[in-house]
Amino acid sequence: MTAEERPTREPSAEETGVTVPAGLPMQVPSAGLPREVRIHEVGARDGLQNEKTTVPTRVKAEFVHRLAAAGLTTIEATSFVHPKWVPQLADAAELVPLLADLAEDPGMRLPVLVPNQRGLERALEMGVREIAVFGSATESFAKANLNRTVAESLAMFEPVVARAREEGLRVRGYLSMCFGDPWEGPVPVAQVVSVARRLHAMGCTELSLGDTIGVATPGHVVALLDELTSGGVPVGELAVHFHDTYGQALSNTLAALGRGVTVVDASAGGLGGCPYAKSATGNLATEDLVWMLHGLGIRTGVDLVRLSSTSAWMAEQLGRPSPSRTVRALTHREQ
């Protein structure tokens, strides 16, 4: 990494205007919840993939470095998909080398999205150690996102997962449209469980249940988790991925924690959306998640001031305020 590419020093609290009220949130644990949660940060991938204006590669590298400096240890960096499908992430091969210093840290995980064998080859060439394939519970989204039927996309993933596992990589399996689909409406729980079990049987080491368009509600989350776990997928291999379109992401997360889930996807500053699901808005904001988890006395390892400073900085880069309620409150900005 050249001096120019190296991230700049962390801005001070005065510079970013981020202050957390002393002693808040008060820590009041609640029974039946985990003591620790691993946040799977998706801001640099899910957050940026929908941005119309191309974010320079060095800004993305700085974003990831700042997220790491804020204590996040799983940071989804980019996607090795077809560049025409997601132009914003066409610079994946330029970005990954800029993260080499982070990749050297054994405690740091930098997964990337890979849809097919071509994507896996590109990722392996860059020395990537963790990938995610991304399936759909519905035919409409499989077609829109992968140009494949559900069955064809599972057939496309099979050799990717097998080869990645042979190479010793961790493989996450995303499953989109688990709670509703913009074209098909309600998605039966049994349909989701059937595709999830296929991804699990294929060798995915973790399954992330995606509420791509943010329509889930807590009872639905519990029903799906219960069906999956009673169907043989251990809760320790499940993660949840909520978008906040209808303001349900935190309630849904709390419901999932109550069922024993300990991996939660979130996006710094609430960035996000999906280019192939127009009704998808931002992900659950990492700051909002951290505020709730810390209030519940659940460890995350995340420094909320540094994280909020990062999101405020990224919002400036994008020329748009952060949608995160916590970032707004901590920066005292009427954004």
Contact 61, 5 (CB under 8 A): yes
Instruction: Answer with the entry of Mg ion, ligand HMG, none that 82 interacts with (C-beta below 5 to 8 A by kind).
Output: ligand HMG
The DSSP bridge partners found for residue 39 are 264
Q: What is the Cα 330 distance to its own chain's centre?
A: 22
Contact with ligand HMG (CB under 6 A) among 41, 46, 62, 181 = 46
- Print burial letters for 277-315: b (CB count within 10 Å at least 16), e (below 16): bebbbbbbbbbbbbbbbbebebebebbbbbbbbbbbbbb
Binding residues (CB under 5 A) for Mg ion: these are: 46
Per-residue mark of binding to ligand HMG, 163-202 (x: CB under 6 A) = -----------x-x--------------------------
Nearer to ligand HMG, 115 or 182 (CB): 115
Contact with ligand HMG (CB under 6 A) among 38, 82, 143, 325 = 82
The footprint of ligand HMG on residues 225-244 (CB under 6 A) is 241
178 is catalytic: no
Q: Does 206 bind ligand HMG (CB under 6 A)?
A: no
CB of 134 to Mg ion, least distance (A): 9
CB of 106 to Mg ion, least distance (A): 27
Instruction: Answer with the entry of Mg ion, ligand HMG, none that 150 interacts with (C-beta below 5 to 8 A by kind).
Output: none
Q: Does 212 bind ligand HMG (CB under 6 A)?
A: yes
Instruction: Answer with the entry of Mg ion, ligand HMG, none that 302 interacts with (C-beta below 5 to 8 A by kind).
Output: none
Q: In a 3-state reduction of DSSP, which class is residue 266?
A: strand
Cα 72 from Cα 51, distance rounded (Å): 22
Of 274, 271, 267, 301, the residue nearest 42 (C-alpha): 267
Catalytic choice (92, 150, 228, 274) = 274
Contact 229, 196 (CB under 8 A): no
Instruction: Answer with the entry of Mg ion, ligand HMG, none that 79 interacts with (C-beta below 5 to 8 A by kind).
Output: ligand HMG
Cα 285 from Cα 307, distance rounded (Å): 11
Alpha-helical (H) ranges within the chain are 13-16, 57-69, 92-98, 100-103, 117-125, 139-146, 150-166, 189-202, 218-230, 249-258, 286-295, 304-318, 325-331
Contact with ligand HMG (CB under 6 A) among 145, 267, 300, 308 = 145
Distances (CA, A) of 162 to 75, 116, 171, 185, 204: 23, 12, 9, 33, 9
Nearer to Mg ion, 145 or 326 (CB): 145
179 Rama class: left (phi>0) / alpha (psi -120 to 50) / beta: alpha
Nearer to ligand HMG, 44 or 113 (CB): 113
Q: Does 282 bind ligand HMG (CB under 6 A)?
A: no
Contact with ligand HMG (CB under 6 A) among 29, 30, 105, 118 = 118
Region binding ligand HMG by CB under 6 A among candidate stretches 108-116, 191-199, 230-238, 308-316: 108-116
Cα 156 from Cα 161, distance rounded (Å): 9
Positions in the binding site for ligand HMG (CB under 6 A): 46, 49, 79-82, 85-86, 113, 115-116, 118-119, 122, 134, 145-147, 174, 176, 210, 212, 241, 274, 276
